[in-house]
Chain A
Amino acid sequence: MVTASARFLPRADLDRLFTALTADGRRVVGPTVVDGSIVHDELASFAELPKGWTAETAPGAYRLQPTGRDRLFDYNVGATSWKRFTHPSIVPLTRGRRDGNQVVVEAVEIDPPKLAFVGVRACEIAALRIQDRAMRAGPLGDADHIARGDAALVVAVECAVAASTCFCTSMGTGPEIDGGADIILSELDEGFVVRTGTDAGADVVDRLGLGPAESLQSDRAARQVGAVRAAIGDPVPAEGLATRLRAALDHPRWAEVADRCLACANCTLVCPTCFCTSVAVASDLDGVEGTTDRTWDSCFSQGFGRVAGDANFRPKVKDRYRQWLTHKFSTWWDQFGSTGCVGCGRCIAWCPVGIDVREELNAIAPIGAPSGPIPWPLSPIEGRAPAPLATVEPAAHVTATVRSVSFETVDTATLELVLDDPALLGSRPGQFVMVELPGFAIPPISISRIRPDGLNLTIRSVGPATAALVNLATGAEVSLRGPLGRGWPIEAAYGRDVVIVAGGIGLAPIRPLIDAILAERPKFGAIRLYLGARTPRDRLFVAEMNALAGRTDLEIEEIVDRAGPEWQGKVGIVTQLFDHAPWDGTRATAFMCGPERMMTATANTLEHRGVTDENCWLTLERNMACGVGTCGHCQLGPFFVCRDGPVFSLAELGSAFGLEGL
């Protein structure tokens, strides 16, 4: 795509490029010196470029130095990456209003600025592409990000110098630029060798009326970038790195680096590919107007792994560092088919205590035999290979009305919602919705029944948002986004026996599965339900379950952790119901949902009973904030629980299931 014939832009004529870029109202963003560092900012002219400056970098240090020459791009990468413009730190998502019973939530209209990015390096082109892919890796994606990226014109500059923290050569992302940019510049003392990579870039360059570059100039440009490659060398042997790293999840070095790591998140925030965000909720004093914003977050923040009830899947810094490093260099391949690191070195320079990712990689995953078992194979799970989509849809917000609220237990209620959205009415058992009351946090809630005219949601009050939901009155409205995630693979159980295990609130996502199976009862063999609860008072859907017990075409058994004398049933843990039951697990497909500890125990018992991992399905709880795989919160090894799950087979999860701190 990049034109073979290069043109030449004399240094004195550079301003003409600025004029051409801005001719159609486009604004120019480029490097400039602010507060002792080169950052990307809007430029009023190219006079603001960092003429005569370079940046010396080292672990934990970044210092501007004068070069003594007139070059404008004699540095490598600035403090900030381009994600500041494609993936801004704060993006308004929704504006909602809750007036009495009425609820309206609307997505904020996306209006991307028309920008030209000037000075984009090879590693940064790769980063833009990698982040873009991550935001498009599903039918629903981050529409704001994509719109901003699509609206930008990329004017790249090939590196003429190498910083001590650079390792693009190892990551295969640079320093040469072969594509991915609209215009590509190579800076020489006398001016710029100009190539174009797209029609849009060619349009701009054509307006400059440039003559061809002399072949000597092109040669010098090539030699210049060649020298950069030689200077960088190959600091991180990348061959097999993804596999080596996932084989080293138990390496003692994780604890050592955690002793030095501040978990301050700087590495992730300066990283040009890190895309993780949170949803910040705000409201006015009356609780009428509510807003949500998407804000930069980081897997190094404690809150990142937190789920309802303040449990945390990644409380230790050791685990947070491992999550970051393994994601960047290993599980990114599973998710997006590429490395997540482009070798720009920002995480090294901007770490306040100088932790050098190259050093850590070489210590944790050195060349040689893998040091431990490989928890999951290095390939995208079949059927989920992330095909980049040309367009993605922002998830729609649908208003639903509460027809009834019935309390199942003291803190758990079922909301019967009426709605007419075809997508939501077509939900599959096991899918979930994001439920929004303006001003409140937006919890992911499993669908507990799919009706012709709406959905039931069974919600346990564990925080203010869920408390507000269970206390809604008849006639109140809520806003839903969904259905999200992959449901139960009911077809996988056709012709087979079915074993269903549910613990506590875990019965909620199981119930539509029961509904669906009973609707097609003849397609299945024996059906066995095993239900656990903490106490008799914590049992859900009691009347319904009692009614099921009266049927002859299925078996149902219940057990509670502890009970008073009024309880005539069994007491103990749910696995006791079937660890010696007289059925053949090899003929069964199992579905389960409950607290993770209960599911671990159940999985073990089921395996022991002969149920294979391929036939054992479960649904996971994680901190799902976006629901569409773009916020990063719910990652579990190579998976985004919201998008790839929440239903998984044990075979898919491999040893990612139950691994502490993953």
Chain B
Amino acid sequence: MTAPLPVEHGRQSPRAAAQKRPRVGVVKFASCDGCQLTLLDLEDELLAVAEKVDIVEFAEATSRRSGGPFDVLFVEGSISAPEQVDEIIKLRAVSKMLVTIGACATAGGIQAIRNWFDHEEIRHAVYADPRYVESLATSKPVADYVAVDAELRGCPISPAQLKEFLTALVTGRRPQLLDEAVCLECKRRNVVCVAVARGIPCLGPVTRTGCGAICPAYGRGCYGCFGPRESANTTSLAAWFADGRNATEVSRLFSGFTAWSEPFKKIIDANGGPPRLAAPSETPDA
């Protein structure tokens, strides 16, 4: 159980007890919109949630706009452009509770792979004229810039976890967001370990649970989209992977949607960075 919601301890005024509808905002930075869409994907609960909270800012869903203040602000996306830095600082100042949602906001996202690359080079490679493109050399998690009160992990976040979080928010209890390995979910679901039974490399042991062990249940290894769990011993797992794999292949396994999280980054760095064509073992053909 992590991410306790802020609780007012001690005697609460009757007004606090009456629970005014919290003002909720949803904003995004560099991302695919999938995590905020997850809110709209709570088809069975959406209308009930909208009655319990006051959604004052959620550009994807409503033309109602607000610059704050927010009781709870859900932030999607990584910080990857100069104006986003100013914006998140501004938003933090008007938010009682800031909740990052998804791999981009919590770990920098897949676009954080560029943090290892030459920014100018990729700007020019993608944009014919990069003059009009403002972007930072790095894509980083929101927590690198402002304090974050709670996070929902995943690429995308889990509808069940979002529902749990919202329910906890409106009923004033602690959300059950476990910070343990995906392995526990596999075992609870009676999913046979793909790593042990089939030799498929799996990041489940070092990745935070919450997805419902989708990938192993479908016969593939976990690719770590919920990011590292507490005590993620990526060094030991990478050493195990290194048996029969070269450095690029080991790095490849960690170079996914939460690559920039410290326990994964450490392994990628130790294995020569994310996979690239320049790697000696993978020289491009003539």
Contact = CB atoms under 8 A, between A and B. Distances in A.
Any A–B CB pair closer than 8 Å: yes
A270 interface: yes
A285 B45 contact: yes
Contacts of B17: 471
Interface in B136-183: 164, 166-168, 170-174, 176, 178-181, 183
Nearest to B172: A464
Nearest to B219: A35
A285 B169 CA distance: 9
A523 to B, nearest CB: 39
Contact of A79 (B183, B195, B197, B240): B197
A295 B48 contact: no
| Ranked 8 nearest A-B pairs via Cβ | A287-B171, A264-B205, A269-B187, A89-B188, A461-B9, A262-B205, A264-B181, A411-B10
Interface string A264-298: 11100110000000001111111100000001111
Interface in A302-319: 302-303, 306, 310, 317
Interface in A414-461: 439-441, 461
B236 A353 contact: yes
A285 B166 contact: yes
A518 interface: no
A235 to B, nearest CB: 20
Interface string B76-119: 00000000000000000000000000000000000000000000
For the side of the interface on A, what is the size category? 35 or more
B246 to A, nearest CB: 19
B165 to A, nearest CB: 12
A34 interface: yes
Interface stretch (A7-15, A56-64, A363-371): A56-64
Contact of A411 (B9, B188, B193, B239): B9
B198 interface: yes
A441 B173 contact: yes
A468 B197 contact: no
A468 B173 contact: yes
A296 B9 contact: no
A259 interface: yes
A352 B1 contact: no
B24 to A, nearest CB: 14
Nearest to B216: A35
Contact of A302 (B9, B180, B205): B180
A285 B204 contact: no
B180 A62 contact: no
B268 interface: no
A343 B172 CA distance: 46
Given A89-B189, A411-B10, A461-B9, 4 more contacts: A79-B193, A264-B184, A282-B164, A441-B173
Nearest to A267: B183
A467 interface: yes
Given A266-B205, A285-B45, A285-B52, A317 B233 contact: yes
B7 interface: yes
B206 A262 contact: yes
Contacts of A350: 193, 196
A39 B45 CA distance: 37
Interface of A: 34-37, 39, 60-64, 79-80, 84, 89-90, 259-266, 269-270, 280-287, 295-298, 301-303, 306, 310, 317, 349-354, 407, 410-411, 413, 439-441, 461-465, 467-468, 470-471
Nearest to B48: A285
B230 A302 contact: yes
Nearest to B171: A287
Nearest to A296: B188
B233 A262 contact: yes
A36 B197 contact: yes
B199 interface: yes
B170 A285 contact: yes
A265 B233 contact: no
Nearest to A35: B192
Nearest to B189: A89
A463 to B, nearest CB: 6
A303 B9 CA distance: 22
A221 B7 CA distance: 66
A353 B173 contact: no
B231 A317 contact: yes
Contacts of A37: 192, 197
A263 B12 CA distance: 40
Contacts of B231: 263, 302, 317
Contacts of A61: 196, 199
7 contacts: A89-B189, A261-B233, A287-B172, A352-B204, A352-B205, A353-B237, A439-B173
A321 to B, nearest CB: 11
Interface of B: 1-2, 4-5, 7-12, 17, 45, 48-49, 52, 164, 166-168, 170-174, 176, 178-181, 183-184, 187-199, 202, 204-206, 219, 230-231, 233, 235-237, 239-240
A461 B183 contact: no
B5 A352 contact: no
A47 to B, nearest CB: 21
B1 A264 contact: no
**Which of A64, A79, A297, A411 gathers the greatest number of chain B CB atoms within 10 Å?**
A79
Contacts of A265: 180-181, 183-184, 187
Contacts of A407: 10-11
A352 B200 CA distance: 11
A465 B173 contact: yes
A283 B263 CA distance: 34
A79 B204 contact: no
A64 B4 CA distance: 44
A286 B166 CA distance: 11
B30 to A, nearest CB: 31
Nearest to A410: B10
A84 B189 CA distance: 10
Contacts of A260: 233, 236
B17 to A, nearest CB: 6
Contacts of A410: 9-11
B205 A36 contact: no
Nearest to A465: B173
A467 B197 CA distance: 46
A296 B184 contact: yes
A303 B4 contact: no
B193 A352 contact: yes
A410 to B, nearest CB: 5
A440 B171 CA distance: 9
B205 A89 contact: no
Nearest to B168: A464
B184 A301 contact: yes
A283 B49 CA distance: 14
A156 to B, nearest CB: 22
Contacts of B191: 35
A265 B167 CA distance: 28
B11 A35 contact: no
Nearest to B187: A269
A63 B197 contact: yes
Nearest to B183: A264
B187 A464 contact: no
Contacts of A413: 11
B135 to A, nearest CB: 36
B192 A79 contact: yes
B172 to A, nearest CB: 6
Given A262-B205, A352-B193, A464 B233 contact: no
B205 A269 contact: no
Contacts of B205: 262, 264, 266, 352-353
A62 B196 contact: yes
A89 B11 contact: no
Contacts of B240: 60, 352-354
B187 A89 contact: yes
A298 B12 CA distance: 36
Contacts of B239: 353
Given A63-B197, A287-B171, A464-B174, A266 B183 contact: yes
A37 B205 CA distance: 19
Contact of B187 (A34, A296, A461): A296
A90 B181 CA distance: 17
